[in-house]
Amino acid sequence: MTNLGDLEIFSRVVTTGSMSAAGRALGLSPAVVSKRIKRLEERLGTRLLQRTTRQISLTEAGQGFHARILGILAGIEEAEAFVSGRAGAMRGVLRISAPTSFGRLHIAPHLMPFMEANPELTVNLVLTDDFSDIVGEAFDLAIRIGELEDSSLVARRLAPVRRVLTASPAYLKRRGAPAAIADLAQHICLPPHNQDVWRLEGPEGAVAYRPQGTLITNSSEVVREAVIAGMGIALRSTWDIGPELRDGRLVQVLPQYEGSRNVVLSAIYASRQFLPAKVRVFIDYLADLYGPTPYWEHGQLPG
């Protein structure tokens, strides 16, 4: 039978990305961690990790094995917390994937209170605009902005996402303000690469508009800076440009139209059945922080 300690060491190597980091988290030397991983692989009769001088990655067998032991380790963690009466004391590593801009603006500034309340918990926050493979990349949860899709993953809605068409006063003075959706064809639009179609809702219901522009970028932050600089019209979330709308650096264009209300902010995780306490507590923290009317809508930070 496989030693449960070996499973924890293996999982920690996956989440931290190195044997030395896993050793520091567990109070073990890198040599001991390497020996335990080798013992586990020999017992299973297969290689779980690919090792190079620069990085460690999961083999195909390692990916499947890791996905299956997560529930086991989470169940043990929950059982220990229940028996010890320390359900509120979170321990271990919490690995989170989040969109780059949102994570920088609305997760990172609020980590300190959460981490002070859970001093034994290490937070590994990975910012990326790609949709991470939660199971394959060993994330405990992912924060995503988009329409919820049917999948094997579990999603919890955290907050609504309001998106508006916006431009700078300088751009509108130079090019004029559009009076109807059709007028956008005479303007420079600034869509990120993943917004080939702007899905809007207006007086006539749902509207799909394909924007055209001369700036092509895979960076949402580049689009944000471009619209503030007066390069064109963009569809932006209020969590991203709230301060600029309030101080007048940006103004709303075609205010009768907004982005689809099906786009929401959600926490995504692998399984409802084996949800670790550390994941549940962090999701609850964000849900309370943002609320049904997020603070960025009225410009007041949570107190």
DSSP state string for 244-303: HHHHTSSEESSTT-EE-TTEEEEEEES-STT--HHHHHHHHHHHHHH-SS-HHHHT----
| Residue 57, φ and ψ in degrees, nearest 5 | -135, 160
Residue 290 pLDDT exceeds 60: yes
| Residue 25, φ and ψ in degrees, nearest 5 | -65, -30
Distances from the Cα of 240 to the Cα of 54, 61, 144, 182, 227, angstroms: 36, 40, 14, 26, 12
- What does the pLDDT average to over 100-123? 94
Strands in 136-223 per DSSP E: 141-147, 154-160, 163-167, 198-202, 205-209
Residue 283: pLDDT band by 50, 70, 90 thresholds? very high
- What does the pLDDT average to over 50-76? 80
The predicted structure's pLDDT at residue 8: 85
- Across 36-40, 149-153, 256-260, least confident range: 149-153
The predicted structure's pLDDT at residue 203: 93
- What does the pLDDT average to over 37-51? 89
Q: What contacts 18, CB < 8 A, 6 or more positions away?
A: 55, 56
Asked whether the CA dihedral 31, 72, 92, 139 is positive or negative, the reply is positive
The predicted structure's pLDDT at residue 109: 96
Residue 152 pLDDT exceeds 70: no
- Across 70-79, 189-198, 276-285, least confident range: 70-79
- Reported as a single tens digit per residue, the pLDDT across 292-301 is 899 999 876 6
Q: What contacts 79, CB < 8 A, 6 or more positions away?
A: none
The predicted structure's pLDDT at residue 68: 82
Residue 191: pLDDT band by 50, 70, 90 thresholds? confident
The predicted structure's pLDDT at residue 273: 59
What residue type is 9 in one-letter code? I
User: Of residues 151 and 275, which shows the higher confidence score?
Assistant: 275
Residue 150: pLDDT band by 50, 70, 90 thresholds? low
The residue to which tokens 């922080």 are assigned:
289
Rounded Cα distance, 42 and 233, in Å: 59
CB atoms within 10 A of CB 271: 16
The predicted structure's pLDDT at residue 179: 95
Rounded Cα distance, 189 and 251, in Å: 15
Rounded Cα distance, 302 and 273, in Å: 31
